[in-house]
A and B are shown apart, each in its own frame.
Chain A
Amino acid sequence: MRKKVICAVLCGMMAASLTGMAAFADDEAKTFTVGFDAEYPPYGYMGDDGEYTGFDLELAQAVCDLEGWELVKTPINWDSKDMELDSGSIDCIWNGFTMTGREEDYTWSKPYVDNSQVIVVKKDAGISALSDLAGKTVGVQAASAALQVLQDEEQQKALADTFAGLQEFADYNSAFVELQAGAVDAIAMDIGVAKYQIENRDNGEDYEILEEHLNSEKYAIGFKKGNTELCDTVNADLDKLLADGTFDKLAEKYELTDMVCLGNDDSEEASSEAASSEAESETAAETEMAESETESAAE
């Protein structure tokens, strides 16, 4: 008898948790959910008032203002970004997201920041060129674009092989402390982040960025593969924001003026991007693909 009661209670709990799951397919009122890494200043970070801010988030807000959407800023765990995007808990990844090398994995907006991977060293370390890094220990963020560059045969793998070792770390704060303490001799990272760190650290003047860059790459907004509709809308809004000066004003505010590239070389970019004029057939094919994808998903 008792066993039956226990069984019933347990079954009840299971059922309750299952219905709980189903109840969460809520209808959203035109929200635009941006996923970002909140430990990535100046693109996305926590401001003094505790609100999330940054160049990318303010830009996203401007797009939402144009469309009348409500912006939902969802900080994500960078390692799970694909799962968050896939499962639909975010609409896009908009956070200094490197497009170069990942072209096939997402539906990309127009690139808006010209980024480079650079090396940061201590000023008195006597390292002034990439070749001086031979036999040194270099720090790099796990799962970062810089790490990808250093591991890619076609890019800087040969250079990385001359290092004494690559030390992966989780966040830039600890990386800089390691650099200061001598645990690593140099750190490879995005130029925008490097500038922010040097600007904001107490002993920022001790560090310098090597003039020689590892590579040059572009930031864009990543949408789920096949979500061209949302991507096109945001692209059009970015153009508007560029035309009315909002984009440049934001770039100036975050000291990224010499890095932004939206509209700079539009004609050149159009070849790789699905610009509406010349790549219509391509877009159509993509839409078809997206449709068949949705179908198989429904099955």
Chain B
Amino acid sequence: MSLPQILSQLSGGMVRTIGIFFLTLIFSLPLGLLVSFGRMVKNPVLKNLFKLYISVMRGTPLMLQLMVFYFGPYYLFRMNIGGNWRFIAIILSFSLNYAAYFAEIYRSGIESMPVGQYEAAKLLGYSRSQTFFRIIFPQVVKRILPSVTNEVITLVKDTSLAFAVAYMEMFTIAKQIAASKTTFMPFVVAAVFYYVFNLIVAVVMEKLEKKLDYYR
């Protein structure tokens, strides 16, 4: 089997892999910020609730969460899980899982800000939301970018976990081609794909870091 043939068969899976990647980022980055707020509120009930959420999401394997989200609705509520549910369950579990990791990254950034900045802002008449979005958050983003890059790179590789619920992402298809053609060639292609994908992620994030590297 020729390389172009393998590539063309894998291309559909690559599109799906990239789809999981971007949708997960789009949902989990804002969600993570909300969770980090929840994690930092003073109300002990709410705070512990979010702590529990983070603890469960980080403490159980994503592969297991995928299966719970995909099969759960049927076993718990006897709901029909046909149609698009497979894909929705994947995006849901990836987003909720990654939001937990991002929440802790945001928290590390937010809590590293000196109290003096809040006090100065208050003195200058900034409201609490103004203080956060105009003064604190831009600095937080700068500080946490390297950790976020780490997480994003992990996400690229984690997309292959979608095979647990038989979603035809790139690596699942690579395994199928490998089985029918009795060759390991598709895995080489898969490795190159992941590497190039992550190289792009790393380069883009580095550019972003440089761009945000003002006030120095």
- A: which residues have CB within 8 A of B? 2-3, 6-7, 9-10, 13, 17, 20-22, 24-26, 28, 33, 38-41, 45-48, 50, 74-77, 80, 83-84, 86-89, 171-173, 176-177, 197, 200-202, 297-298
Contact = CB atoms under 8 A, between A and B. Distances in A.
Given A45-B176, A86-B74, A173-B182, A77 B164 contact: yes
Interface in B36-54: 37-38, 41, 43, 46
Interface residues of B, number: 47
B139 interface: no
Interface stretch (B4-12, B14-22, B142-150, B190-198): B4-12
A143 B38 CA distance: 43
B125 interface: no
Nearest to B173: A46
28 contacts: A2-B128, A2-B129, A3-B46, A6-B41, A13-B31, A24-B79, A24-B83, A25-B80, A26-B82, A33-B82, A38-B179, A39-B179, A41-B179, A45-B179, A46-B177, A47-B180, A48-B5, A50-B9, A75-B168, A75-B176, A77-B164, A77-B166, A86-B74, A87-B74, A88-B74, A89-B86, A171-B175, A298-B78
Contact of A22 (B12, B34, B38, B79): B79
A2 B74 CA distance: 36
Q: Which 3 A-B pairs have the closest CB atoms?
A: A39-B179, A87-B74, A45-B180
B166 A87 contact: no
A28 B84 CA distance: 12
Contacts of B75: 87
Contacts of B46: 3, 7
Contacts of A26: 80, 82-83
Interface of B: 1, 5, 8-9, 12, 31, 34, 37-38, 41, 43, 46, 67, 71, 73-75, 78-86, 88, 92, 128-129, 163-166, 168, 172-173, 175-184
Contacts of A200: 181-182
Given A75-B172, A89-B86, 11 more contacts: A2-B37, A6-B38, A21-B88, A28-B82, A39-B175, A39-B176, A74-B166, A80-B165, A86-B74, A177-B184, A197-B182
A17 B73 CA distance: 12
A87 B41 contact: no
Contact of B41 (A3, A41, A80, A86): A3
Nearest to B84: A24
A38 B176 contact: yes
Contact of A172 (B82, B84, B179): B179
- If over half of B's interface residues share one DSSP class (helix, strand or loop), that class is named, otherwise mixed; here it is helix
Contact of A297 (B43, B78, B84, B177): B78
Nearest to B77: A21
Contact of B166 (A9, A24, A80): A80
Contacts of A298: 78
A5 B177 CA distance: 50
A46 B180 contact: yes
Nearest to B9: A50
Nearest to A204: B182
A176 B86 CA distance: 33
Nearest to A45: B180
B79 A21 contact: yes
Contacts of A25: 79-80
A173 B74 contact: no
Contacts of B166: 74-77, 80, 84
A126 B8 CA distance: 43
Nearest to A54: B180
Contact of B34 (A6, A83, A86): A6
B43 A3 contact: yes
A9 B1 contact: no
